[in-house]
Amino acid sequence: MGAATTRVWLSALVAAVATAAVGHAQAAEVKVLSAGAVRAIVTDLAEAFHQETGHTVTLAFGTVGVIRQKLTAGEPVDVVIMSDAAIDETARQGAVVPGTRTDIARTGMGVAVREGAPKPDISTPEALKQALLAAKSLVYVDPGQGATSGIHFAGVLERLGIADAVRAKTRLVPGGYPAELVARGEVELVAHQISEIVPVKGVTLVGPLPKDLQKITTYSAGLAARSAVPEAARAFIAFVARPAFKARFAGAGLDYRE
């Protein structure tokens, strides 16, 4: 290798190393607090975002109530993903930057049974009532945790007039995927958001709640007011909202249509 060629090769190598070092130095850690309803898809997109940008995304999931508590406590966070109403309220309170709300998903509530089990009729409020009364056991998210689905389903039981009748056979969980209890055969029936039923193996979605009892929730992302990396956080919000990902959201039960 001649001297001139060697110099060119070394210059190119130095430039490449310098570029990589700069890119690494600029890479940020984006801390995301998210409602569990979008857990599966956001986890996948966080990895895709890292591959594209070099930014690392740290995810924590919980009910809307738990997320709001963490925001109030001043927990470090860059992006918040909650129901649209919760994002708007926290923006008014100064915890989320006003004008940054970006709607990313829409889901309804449904009922599921263990894979292979008979599907009860839940097509009407009366049919749902009879199915719940007939079920040996039931699970949903504890409304005391501030869970969107739990609060709503507790109200459904009251509207159907069977809250007391099913209380003894009902299990309440603090969050996560209650459908996993159905998959393991511990509980017969689960009522939860469809997007948190679809990812669970071993269960079958019976269908959505009847229209008169349905709860459709729009989930939105917002920039946390205390974000340490607002530019990277904004980039992540824009990334998950890309039209190209709409089909993936739909496949995850996050494009609910009546």
Structural domains of the chain, count: 2
Based on the domain organization, do 84 and 33 belong to the same domain?
yes
Q: Tokens standing for 204? A: 């079958």
Closest of 115, 210, 234 to residue 159, by C-alpha: 210
Number of separate helices (H) and strands (E) present in the chain:
10, 10
Full residue range of the structural domain in which residue 134 is found: 109-213
pLDDT at 146: 87
Is residue 126 within 8 Å of 212, Cβ to Cβ? no
Based on the domain organization, do 95 and 222 belong to the same domain?
yes
Length of the chain: 258
Q: Report yes or no on whether pTM surpasses 0.85.
A: no
CB neighbours (10 Å) of residue 131? Answer: 19
Based on the domain organization, do 101 and 120 belong to the same domain?
no
Bridge pairing between strands 29-35 and 79-83: parallel
DSSP assignment of 100-135 equals --EEEEEE-EEEEEETTSPPPP-SSHHHHHHHHHH-
234 within a domain of the structure (yes/no): yes
Helices (H), 73-205: 84-92, 125-134, 148-160, 163-167, 179-183
Based on the domain organization, do 114 and 208 belong to the same domain?
yes
pLDDT at 168: 98
The distance between the two most distant Cα atoms of the chain, rounded to a whole number of Å, is 89
pLDDT at 257: 78
Based on the domain organization, do 206 and 239 belong to the same domain?
no
pLDDT at 15: 43
Based on the domain organization, do 208 and 118 belong to the same domain?
yes
- Quote the DSSP letter at residue 244: G
CB neighbours (10 Å) of residue 122? Answer: 22
161 within a domain of the structure (yes/no): yes
3-state DSSP assignment of residue 80: strand
157 within a domain of the structure (yes/no): yes
The single-letter code of the amino acid at 110 is G
Based on the domain organization, do 196 and 221 belong to the same domain?
no
Tens digits of pLDDT across the chain (258 residues) = 555 444 444 444 444 433 343 344 489 999 999 999 899 999 999 999 999 999 999 999 998 989 999 998 999 999 999 999 999 999 999 999 999 999 999 999 999 999 999 999 999 999 999 999 999 999 999 999 888 999 999 999 999 999 999 999 999 999 889 999 999 999 999 999 999 999 999 999 999 999 999 999 999 999 999 999 999 999 999 999 999 999 999 988 898 876
114 within a domain of the structure (yes/no): yes
Based on the domain organization, do 97 and 117 belong to the same domain?
no
Is residue 58 within 8 Å of 29, Cβ to Cβ? yes
6 within a domain of the structure (yes/no): no
Based on the domain organization, do 117 and 207 belong to the same domain?
yes
Based on the domain organization, do 102 and 222 belong to the same domain?
yes
4 within a domain of the structure (yes/no): no
Q: Name the strands in the sheet holding 138-141, side by side, starting at the edge strand that comes first in the sequence.
A: 170-173, 138-141, 189-193, 109-114, 203-208
Cα-based angle 182, 185, 190 (whole degrees, multiple of 5)? 20
Based on the domain organization, do 60 and 122 belong to the same domain?
no
Based on the domain organization, do 155 and 87 belong to the same domain?
no
User: How far is C-alpha 148 from the chain's CA centre?
Assistant: 12
93 within a domain of the structure (yes/no): yes
HSE value, Cβ hemisphere, 13 Å, CA-based, for 255: 11
Q: What is the CATH number of the domain that holds 174?
A: 3.40.190.10
203 within a domain of the structure (yes/no): yes
pLDDT at 2: 52
